Structures are given as structure tokens and as C-alpha cells.
């Protein structure tokens, strides 16, 4: 099993290209089930989760062709991928596939909308919380679907004439459930109005792609989205938006180590709250024609309190990385996690590096220390794993992060990107 070995102490200086967003690419890929034409997606990141979803879509009948890699890039950088589903050959998403990646549950919406039926395994829990599927079930039931749970599967059936437009209010904001409702409602008869919809940029990106395919959607990016159903969708070409979580992660790495880095190919509007928080912590962030320039001089890191919230608030997916940054702040900071339970599992591993963190319910109190010291640590989930890398970049000596398969799910060429800016990060195999 691979590990990441980090020798701390180097500033970051240079250019880091930002990849396409995993959290946007996954629903966009699933949208290929909605049409018999080809959906071409540019800037698709090369990640374990993307490769797993390609296998899952193939099970439903999607043909995949990959091209578009530039000669100047090595194997593993973002690609152009063509998805063609002439016919849905299987409406069952089995447990052995869904259990490997929770987002694969989202195929239930397109399968139901296009083929009138779907049998999809319940995804179960995960390391950062239970994340039940009640909102998905209730939303699709509002569109007229019959949903029955049997032997760990949801058997979904649309009315004989297809899904029917309706007005539905989410009792809680859910990005995944908003994705599924957008896709399902695009082929429903009549008009669907979604209240309390997720406002994340990835939702907007999906809506823009669906619109290019012929869907009629208004209000994406606000809490109320209106979809006028159409009888069929066509193919389209769409570019996956830049990864705001990768952007924020590398910005925090620069704030942690000091230095001057251009995050190429991204934009500030995707994560303004997180960038404002980083500025309070002492980083200088400037938007340029080609990306975001992040600089931190030697004045140290200021403590900042944050509360995770749905977009446009501070992202839960940057909470662990920001906690790593705050371990070196000159004072006490607090982080309150409101999105997921059990998302403080990285605390014990940061403590192995010398961090001083105490927990009270969903709040963490971080007392900044003057130095961290390298040690063996273990990743518990995707975002926690990269928080340990950020801490290791400034820890004295050597930090070895185990279970880095978590990193491969969401960060494209992490060690290569960091090393190009002066870090000492090495992947080692047992």
C-alpha cells in the first residue's frame, strides 16, 4: 500500500495548475444516462473516483472514449472524455459497485427519468457520517415515482407516462439530492420547482450542462430552481469547472508554508468565503488573468474562527485543511462543523504531529503552537488525508502519511504539483 513521505520546512513558490472539480465531474458524467447522444466533457480529472464511476456507468451501457491529453502533460492530467449511452442495458446499480462510491447512487434519477425504472443499492454509511438518502427518496416521490426498499435496494418506478413535474421543498440543503432532482426533472412532464435547493457552483455547472443538452432550467445558484421538463435531451460539449476544494487546499498550503504561488486556471468566485477567511489568517490573495496568486510573508498566521455552512459559506470540505493551518496560528481559533458528524477524525492524527486541539461536540478549539514535529500518521478520509500533508509541509523532520488511497480519490498528481513548487513530497510503496 502506498504512503506519502514529506520532509517539512520548505516554502512553496511557483505555479500549481488546478484540475477539474471532482464534485462537478461526477454528476456531469451521470447526466450522460439522460441522452442517447454523446456527452463530451472537457477537463475531467484523473482520479480514483472518476475511474470507478466510469466502470459503474459502463455497467448501465455507457460507452466511454478518452482523448485530449496535451503532449506537455504526463499521464494523469485532466482529459476530454466522451460518454455515449445509446441504450440503457441495465437499470440495476448493485451493492458491490454503489458501496465503493456513494455518488454512484445518483444514477437513480437519470435511470428513472429515461427508462422508467431503477433498482439501486442503498449506499450505506461512510467515514464522515451516515448521510441518509431520505431526501432523494422524498424528492423523487414528489415527481410521482414509487419507491420501495427491499433487501437493501431501492426499487423505483415512474408512472406509466413518465415522471411528473411538481413543487418540492428540501427540508435540508443537499447537494447530491439537488443534482438528482435536476436530472430527473429535466425529463419530467410539466414544471418542477425546487425550494431550498443547494447553491454550490457544482450545481450550477450541472444545470449549465443540462441546459446545453436542451433542458430548460432557471434559478440554478439560488435556493429556488425551476425546471420545465422536455421530452428528450441531446448531446453537448461542456467543460468541467475548476476544483474549488483543490484551490482552497493549495491556498492553505501556501498560507501554511509561506511563499508565492499562482493557482492556475481557477477563479475567486468559486470560494470567496474561504478566501476571505485565508486573508484574515494573513495570506494575500489576488485574482489574475490566469488564476489566483497566493502569497504569505513572514508575519505569521493569525487565528480565525470558522463555521462550516452550505455554499456560499465556508466549505466543510476545507475544514480539515483549515484546521491544519490553525495549528500554527499565533493564538486560539475555533472551528464548528455543522454539515457532517464524525468529521473531526483527523484531530488525533494532527495531535501526533504536536498540534493542541480539544473537542466539544461539533466544535474544535485549536491552540496554535510554534512548531510541529514529523511523525507517522494515518489518513481517515479524503480531506483529512490532505490536511496531514499540509501539516507535514511545515513539520520538522519527516512525516509519513498512510492510507493515501484516500488522496487519490480527490487530488490529481498532488505530490508532483507540490514538488514543482519546492516541497519534498515522495510517494513510497511497501
Q: For residue 135, say whether it is annotated as part of any ligand binding site.
A: yes
Question: How far apart (Å, rounded) are the C-alpha atoms in residues 89 and 148?
Answer: 22
Question: How far apart (Å, rounded) are the C-alpha atoms in residues 245 and 263?
Answer: 12
Q: For residue 254, say whether it is annotated as part of any ligand binding site.
A: no
Q: For residue 339, say whether it is annotated as part of any ligand binding site.
A: yes
CB 19 within 8 A of CB 410: no
Q: For residue 305, say whether it is annotated as part of any ligand binding site.
A: no
Residue 320: half-sphere exposure toward Cβ, Cα within 13 Å: 28
Question: How far apart (Å, rounded) are the C-alpha atoms in residues 114 and 135?
Answer: 21
**What are the φ/ψ torsions at residue 143 (nearest 5 degrees)?**
-85, 10
Kindly report the three-state secondary structure assignment for every residue of 42-75.
Answer: EEECCCHHHHHHHHHHHHHCCEEEEECCCCCCCC
Q: For residue 173, say whether it is annotated as part of any ligand binding site.
A: yes
CB 149 within 8 A of CB 159: no
Which residues are the active-site residues?
126
Q: For residue 133, say whether it is annotated as part of any ligand binding site.
A: yes
Q: For residue 50, say whether it is annotated as part of any ligand binding site.
A: no
Q: For residue 325, say whether it is annotated as part of any ligand binding site.
A: no
Continuous segment of H or E residues that includes residue 348: helix 346-352
Please provide the DSSP assignment of 258-326 as one string.
Answer: -EEEEEET--GGGSHHHHHHHHHHT-EEEE-SSEEEEEE-TT-B----EEB-STTSB-GGGHHHHHHHH
Report the chain's terminal Cα–Cα distance, integer Å: 6
Q: For residue 132, say whether it is annotated as part of any ligand binding site.
A: yes
Cell numbers 510503496 correspond to what residue? 429
Cell numbers 444514477 correspond to what residue? 107
- Cβ–Cβ contacts within 10 Å for residue 286, how many? 11
CB 86 within 8 A of CB 61: yes
Q: For residue 389, say whether it is annotated as part of any ligand binding site.
A: no
Q: For residue 172, say whether it is annotated as part of any ligand binding site.
A: yes
Q: Which residues are annotated as a binding site?
A: 22-23, 102, 131-135, 172-175, 317, 339
Annotated binding site for UDP-N-acetyl-alpha-D-glucosamine: 102, 131-135, 172-175, 317, 339
- Binding positions for phosphoenolpyruvate are 22-23
Amino acid at each position: 500500500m502506498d504512503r506519502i513521505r514529506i520532509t517539512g520546512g520548505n516554502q512553496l513558490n511557483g505555479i500549481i495548475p488546478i484540475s477539474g472539480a471532482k464534485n462537478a465531474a461526477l454528476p456531469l458524467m451521470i447526466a450522460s444516462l439522460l441522452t442517447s447522444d454523446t456527452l463530451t466533457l472537457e477537463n475531467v480529472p484523473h482520479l480514483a473516483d472518476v475511474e470507478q464511476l466510469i466502470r459503474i456507468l459502463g455497467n448501465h451501457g455507457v460507452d466511454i472514449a478518452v482523448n485530449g491529453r496535451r503532449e506537455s502533460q504526463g499521464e494523469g492530467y485532466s482529459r476530454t472524455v466522451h460518454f455515449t449511452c445509446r441504450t440503457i442495458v441495465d437499470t440495476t446499480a448493485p451493492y458491490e459497485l454503489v458501496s465503493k462510491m456513494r455518488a454512484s447512487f445518483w444514477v437513480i434519477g437519470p435511470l428513472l427519468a429515461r427508462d422508467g425504472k431503477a433498482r439501486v443499492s442503498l449506499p450505506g454509511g461512510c467515514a464522515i457520517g451516515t448521510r441518509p438518502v431520505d431526501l432523494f427518496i422524498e424528492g423523487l416521490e414528489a415527481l410521482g415515482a414509487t419507491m420501495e426498499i427491499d433487501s437493501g435496494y431501492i426499487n423505483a418506478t415512474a408512472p406509466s407516462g413518465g415522471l411528473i413535474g411538481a413543487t418540492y421543498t428540501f427540508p435540508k440543503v443537499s447537494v447530491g439530492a439537488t443534482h438528482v432532482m435536476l436530472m430527473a426533472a429535466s425529463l419530467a412532464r410539466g414544471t418542477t420547482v425546487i425550494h431550498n435547493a443547494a447553491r454550490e457552483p457544482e450545481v450550477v455547472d450541472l444545470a449549465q450542462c443540462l441546459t446545453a443538452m436542451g433542458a430548460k432550467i432557471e434559478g440554478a445558484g439560488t435556493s429556488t430552481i425551476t425546471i420545465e421538463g422536455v421530452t428528450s435531451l441531446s448531446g453537448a460539449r461542456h467543460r468541467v469547472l475548476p476544483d474549488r476544494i483543490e484551490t482552497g487546499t493549495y491556498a492553505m498550503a501556501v498560507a501554511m508554508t509561506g511563499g508565492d504561488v499562482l493557482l492556475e486556471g481557477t477563479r475567486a468566485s468559486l470560494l470567496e468565503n474561504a478566501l476571505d477567511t485565508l486573508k484574515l489568517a494573513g495570506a494575500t490573495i489576488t485574482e489574475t488573468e490566469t488564476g489566483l496568486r497566493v502569497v504569505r510573508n513572514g508575519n505569521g498566521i493569525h487565528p480565525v474562527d470558522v463555521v462550516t455552512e452550505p455554499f456560499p459559506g465556508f466549505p466543510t470540505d476545507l475544514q480539515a485543511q483549515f484546521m491544519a493551518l490553525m495549528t500554527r496560528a499565533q493564538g486560539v481559533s475555533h472551528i464548528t462543523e455543522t454539515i457532517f458528524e464524525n468529521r473531526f477524525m483527523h484531530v488525533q492524527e494532527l495531535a501526533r504531529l504536536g498540534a493542541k486541539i480539544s473537542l466539544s461536540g461539533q466544535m474544535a478549539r485549536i491552540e496554535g503552537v510554534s512548531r510541529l514535529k514529523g511523525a507517522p500518521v494515518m489518513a481517515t478520509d479524503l480531506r483529512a488525508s490532505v490536511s496531514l500533508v499540509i501539516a507535514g509541509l511545515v513539520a520538522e523532520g519527516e512525516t509519513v502519511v498512510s492510507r493515501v488511497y484516500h488522496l487519490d480519490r480527490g487530488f490529481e498528481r498532488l505530490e508532483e504539483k507540490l514538488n514543482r513548487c519546492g516541497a519534498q513530497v515522495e510517494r513510497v510503496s511497501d
